A and B are shown apart, each in its own frame.
Chain A
Amino acid sequence: MLSNDAKILQLEAATRRRFLCDAGLSLGGVALASLLGGASSSLADGDGVPSTGGFKPQHHFAPRAKSVIFIHCAGAPPQHDLFDLKPALDRYNGQPCPDEYLKGEKFAFIKGHPTLLASPFKFAHFGRSGMELSTLLPGMGSIADELTLLRGMKTDQFNHAPAQLLMHTGEARFGHPSMGAWLSYGLGSATAQLPSFVVLVSGDKTPDAGKSVWGSGFLPGQFQGVQCRTVGESVLYLDDPRGTTRASRRAALDAMRDLNAMSPFADASTRARVEQFEMAYRMQMSVPEATALSSESAETLALYGATPGAASFANNCLLARRLVERGVRFVQLFDWGWDAHGTGPNDDLLHQLPKKCLETDRPSAGLVLDLKRRGLLDETLVIWGGEFGRTPMVEYRNGVKTFIGRDHHPHCFSMWMAGGGVKKGLVYGATDELGYFATEGIVHVQDLQATILALLGFDHERLTYRHAGLDQRLTGVTKPSRVVHEIMA
């Protein structure tokens, strides 16, 4: 709660700060926090909150990372084929899944008694750490010694939209702020040229849960993610109207500023609005500069496999590096196409999965390597994974065995993290013989969120915002979450 007060105090304009002194508030914390936090509409009275620039975050403890790049493979990658080899599945391939696993279980698509599926792909040991990964991921293998691999991830949800909401907002229902929004709220921005929370989408589709996974929920709208595209207008409404020039827009803004100042109704909120128009004008310069991938060397482009002008995951990885380099706090990547049910060649394990790996493996590794050689990896936390896992059992949609897939699975999955204060070359957590349940080093989605906040210097129980009578937080107000100290460097 203290952070909420301090935060708002710091954020808001002098008029409001004066109010707090003048009113001589000796109210209890509930009332005070409500006035401050829950009272976002009172910003209407004269104070737009400056969203960017010059804001010093109020950390609860020393941050290990300054920014985050979260790569979300929407649809959920199959851990048994990429990160968590289960030799037992080779032995029991095609055999019925033992009954003790299935008690009370529900599946999204699998019908009848499910049978186990060995991974069709080989695994190998990578790096000095000997991390065992799929041979579909040679790039990630090459950075194995930079990674913390979490094999004991688990979630509560097994449909895409609710699971994505849980992953990004800490709540499976709509209406809550996303992690990037929480961090923009907590961290402010390190740049007056760019938004603090940027979203990059590849694979032709936005995530299942829609724009709410980068929304601001009950936090003020200024904290929502700004989508940035590599094709077309890079940010919505960024382009000047046709028939105007930079000079004519500058002249219009100058006139606007003067006229706003002359208005008999001018007050602090007027100045805040002028500031936002100026920031928008700066973004019109800085966003195209940041998104101009063609200014990168051929060697760097090759490192990612990026092609300027295309809409691709590789380009988004490179763009992510350029954005954190320029002070963006949270870059959220979504890549669509991982939902390998096996209904056809576009969503199966033998065709689609290798294709997705080809699209993402090199760029993901390239990102980590590039950050490292630029000295940015220590202060940038890279996170990679999906919203849940996939079953150790095969899915044959409608009984057709032409293609193989795996169904949704909440009980265990794998994610990795790199840089930003996490250990290098560590495998943390494990699953049972079949890769059905997480058994060791279990990290619930909300534990992951608590850990991410901790790496950024925040106590997840203290980064709060008063809404609907409660001090809300990313990890939810009811269940305790665990910071996974074991993975911290």
Chain B
Amino acid sequence: MRYGAALLGLLLAMAMLIRDDVSGARAPGAQGTHAVDFDAEVLPILAENCFRCHGGVRELSGLSLIYRDRAVQPAKSGVAAVVPFDAHASEMVRRINAVGGPKQMPPATNALSSHDRALLARWIDEGAVWEKPWALQEVRPQEQPRVRGASWMRVELDAFVLAEFEKQGIEPAQEADRATLARRLSLDLTGLPPEPLEVASFLADTRADAYEREVDRLLASPHYGERFARVWLDLARYADTQGYEKDLPRTNWLWRDWVIDAINADMPYDAFTTRLLAGDLLENAADMDRVATGFHRNTLTNTEGGTDNEEFRMAAVMDRVSTTWQAWMGTTFQCAQCHGHPYEPYSHREYYEFLAFFNQSADADADDDAPILKVESPAHGATSALVMAELPAAQARTTSVLLRGSFLAPGDTVTASTPSMLPTMDASLPRNRLGLARWLFDPRHPLTARVAANRQWETLFGRGIIETSEDFSLHPQIPGLLDHLASRLRALQFSMKAFTRELVLSATYRQSSIGSETSLARDPANRFFSRAIKRRLEAETVRDAALAVGGILTRTMHGPPVMPAQPAGVWATVYNGEDWKTSEGAAATRRSIYTYWKRTSPHPQMLALDAPSRETCVVRRTQTSTPSAALATFNDPALVGAARGLARRVLVHGARDLRAHAARMFHAALAREASPRELDRIIAFIEAERLRFASDTVARAAFLGEDAARAPDADESEYAALASGANLILNLDEFLTTK
């Protein structure tokens, strides 16, 4: 009879396995309570307590709890862990209840709580429904939630946020003042602080749509592309060297420029993606479509003597698979390289079926980085870019499952295919990178739009709705919001500018970083976005902002990378005679996105401010506050140069009034007026510095350095003292953060 029940359960299970919709027919809860939600309630228990030994990696006793069909089959012992509709007959229930006995699972001190044990039993009695994890279910169109304080809302997304506030009893923060918003918008949308005149004209704009106009002005700025390209450079592990031991130079900056231009042109995300992954396979592919495929040519090339080119070609192909999943699907697929995924429903075989899409490209870890496309750049003459190209059909590679991920241990042969948990690839699509790119934009694809929407939100708000933007296995904090945004992104036909506009027009975005009382009390960690997140500027922005405020930023776009000064002796790579040749003049103060990026030794200031090394795809930078960062902003001679620039900027106003000068410097850096107290404090310091420089002309000359000659018509001690004050201002917490 037990077997009969098991068989029935198995049949039902097979019927339910294909069910995608949580709200569909489901047996009512045993005690008239709600039915157990597998994804929200059961899966976390399994993941936390069971997958370590009964997951995709280890299947002790022949049991894996990743897939339902495996869990309901008899394990090695001959009994099934889960017998749907029959908790009593389920070995899992017997084991979790054997508390204190030798058969207890999980063993030793890890017994489940009585709540969890009851929950699992109830879930099995209800049929052991095994839904897909939420992120693998299709995006569901969201009804706008009903809210009481609708007057606060500015765009639809605010309803979802406000509904959560109301549920939690949180008052939103007040709208930030205009000057704060001017600075925040400018930094968020262009990576540069606003010019004082820009702030002034925004403050003076009395039209009802002044804010919208300011947003539109910034979205149209060419610096918008530079700012958002930074995100893609991290995802693409873009660098100017090949990586590994010799880390020789590589020329691929045309790709970086292509990204900046595509973002500025607001190329829709689907078209953008198609070009990054498969521009070469487009019909009548233009040179620039091929240049775009440099995205996946940014992988490392190992020219270390004695390396096996096939080993490192395969490492690059695996990196492309991993990066594609990280960047477009928010999933760490590379876990399945050596074995089944430890907690996601992806098998070892499915990994290699997916890898087969990327296994036909012509590149092969060659020292010369072939294939390379020669391009005539209008501004920079003849140059080249690394591109993708498919092997001729006659040379097509066979793809095999690699046992333990080793290129020396091929197993079964596989063909290109997408995992079974995701929508089936349409039969009309070619089984190559182009087909793959199109499959990502299948309207049924659950991840692409969610991941893109989450990333843009993270970039603008400082934290994703799914905070772990590299891993979508956790539930979003605010129900419905992410699906609403994913739907909006699709409705906007993947225009990232239109989408960005919608995000920054929201009341949620416009909140002050100073929270309401209830926000601080009930949402102290700001999980619900009940105030703006104050966060340190990104590494590149710290430097760019200082140069911009100092009036010495070179705004020239595009072209070969430059080498702004770095401390001596930083570069010392084995078997590589390359030198850091410090750029002169205007080239030394270009935006940081144009700084030469050497993988084994990135610019130390960037590293000190949490930039990654660009050896692998990085979805999310962590932010830390360290003494190294303090030294790198306070003492860097280049940023002291920016401070001198700021002093000169205010000195041209002529009036010999230190207080007025200091006030101007403060305003230029922080986009707000200094309070009288603040001004007093700065002046006290500047005045002391003026006296010091007046009496110590050697120190003065040293501090002004080569900029002494550029002194405006002012007393040199005043100039130096103001510059010293500017150095202080450019290191204030408020300067280093968005507020």
- Interface residues of chain A, those whose CB is within 8 Å of chain B, are 15-16, 18-19, 22-23, 27-31, 34-35, 38-46, 48-49, 51-52, 104, 106-109, 159-161, 173-175, 195, 201, 204-212, 215, 218-222, 224, 226, 229, 231-233, 235-245, 248, 251-252, 255-256, 258-260, 262-267, 269-270, 272-277, 279-280, 283-284, 336, 407-408, 467-470, 477-478
Contacts and interface: CB of A to CB of B under 8 A. Distances in A.
Given A208-B574, A255-B681, A478 B338 contact: yes
Nearest to B474: A34
Nearest to A44: B535
26 contacts: A16-B524, A18-B524, A31-B44, A44-B536, A48-B624, A49-B624, A159-B245, A160-B245, A161-B244, A173-B616, A211-B613, A218-B622, A221-B607, A226-B628, A232-B567, A233-B567, A237-B608, A237-B635, A237-B636, A241-B637, A243-B702, A251-B689, A269-B625, A276-B625, A276-B629, A468-B332
A46 B304 contact: no
A206 B574 contact: yes
A14 B624 CA distance: 17
Nearest to A50: B625
B728 A477 contact: no
A212 B622 contact: no
Given A34-B468, A45-B534, A236-B632, A265 B734 contact: yes
A384 to B, nearest CB: 20
A219 B678 CA distance: 37
Contact of B631 (A18, A23, A235, A267): A235
A469 B329 CA distance: 14
A109 B305 contact: yes
Nearest to A40: B622
Contact of A267 (B534, B569, B622): B534
Count chain B CB atoms within 10 A of each CB in A108, A231, A237, A272 and give the residue with the most: A237
Contacts of B631: 235-238, 280, 283-284
Interface stretch (B255-263, B496-504, B597-605): B597-605
B17 interface: no
B525 A44 contact: no
Contacts of B600: 206, 209-212
B473 interface: yes
Nearest to A213: B600
B525 A16 contact: yes
A266 B685 CA distance: 21
Contacts of B602: 211
- Which 6 pairs show the lowest CB-CB distances between chains A and B? A210-B600, A243-B703, A108-B306, A48-B625, A243-B702, A174-B615
Count chain B CB atoms within 10 A of each CB in A173, A204, A205, A239 and give the residue with the most: A173
A76 to B, nearest CB: 12
Given A51-B626, A210-B599, A236-B604, A23 B733 contact: no
A42 B342 contact: no
Interface in B328-353: 332, 335, 338-339, 342-344
Contacts of A201: 572
Given A48-B624, A159-B307, A211-B613, A205 B573 contact: yes
Contacts of B513: 265
A310 to B, nearest CB: 14
Given A237-B636, A468-B332, 11 more contacts: A28-B44, A30-B47, A38-B471, A159-B302, A208-B244, A251-B685, A252-B724, A259-B678, A260-B733, A266-B733, A408-B306
B44 A30 contact: yes
B308 interface: yes
Interface of B: 44-45, 47-48, 57, 244-245, 247, 300, 302, 304-308, 315, 332, 335, 338-339, 342-344, 408, 462-463, 467-468, 470-471, 473-475, 513-514, 521-522, 524-527, 533-536, 567-570, 572-574, 599-602, 604-605, 607-608, 610, 613, 615-616, 618, 620-632, 634-637, 640, 675, 677-678, 681-682, 684-685, 688-689, 692, 699-705, 720, 724, 727-728, 731-734, 736-737, 739
Nearest to B531: A45
A178 B47 CA distance: 27
Contacts of A204: 572
Contact of B525 (A45, A49, A219, A243): A45
A30 B701 CA distance: 59
Given A19-B525, A237-B567, A243-B702, A256 B728 contact: yes
A252 to B, nearest CB: 5
A172 B572 CA distance: 22
Contacts of A224: 607
Contacts of B734: 260, 263, 265
Contacts of A256: 728, 731-732
Nearest to A37: B468
Contacts of B569: 229, 231-232
Contacts of B344: 469
A233 B636 CA distance: 12
A320 B615 CA distance: 29
Contacts of B703: 241-244
Contacts of B613: 174, 210-212, 215
Contacts of B701: 243
Nearest to B237: A174
A238 B621 CA distance: 25
B614 to A, nearest CB: 9
A175 B305 CA distance: 23
A296 B475 CA distance: 58
Contact of A273 (B307, B604, B736, B739): B736
A255 B684 contact: yes
Contacts of A160: 245, 304
B534 A46 contact: yes
Nearest to B728: A252
Contacts of A273: 625, 630, 733, 736
B48 A252 contact: no
Contact of B305 (A45, A108, A242, A469): A108
B681 A206 contact: no
Contact of A252 (B300, B343, B610, B685): B685
A208 B304 CA distance: 9
A161 B305 CA distance: 11
B533 A45 contact: yes
Contacts of A276: 625-627, 629-630
B471 A210 contact: no
Contact of B624 (A19, A51, A258): A51
Contacts of A242: 637, 702-703, 705
Contacts of A467: 470
A110 B675 CA distance: 73
B342 A477 contact: yes
Contacts of B462: 41, 44-45
A237 B626 CA distance: 13
Nearest to A407: B306
B467 A41 contact: yes
A210 B247 contact: yes
Contact of B306 (A107, A236, A251): A107
A469 B343 contact: yes
A22 B625 contact: no
Count chain A CB atoms within 10 A of each CB in B245, B513, B620 and give the residue with the most: B245
B632 A244 contact: no
B724 A248 contact: yes
Contacts of A174: 300, 613, 615-616
Contacts of A407: 306
Nearest to B678: A262
A175 B627 CA distance: 23
Contacts of B705: 242-243
B44 A43 contact: no
Nearest to B475: A31
Contacts of B675: 262
Contacts of A48: 624-625
B541 to A, nearest CB: 14
Contacts of A251: 685, 688-689
A30 to B, nearest CB: 4
Nearest to A32: B48
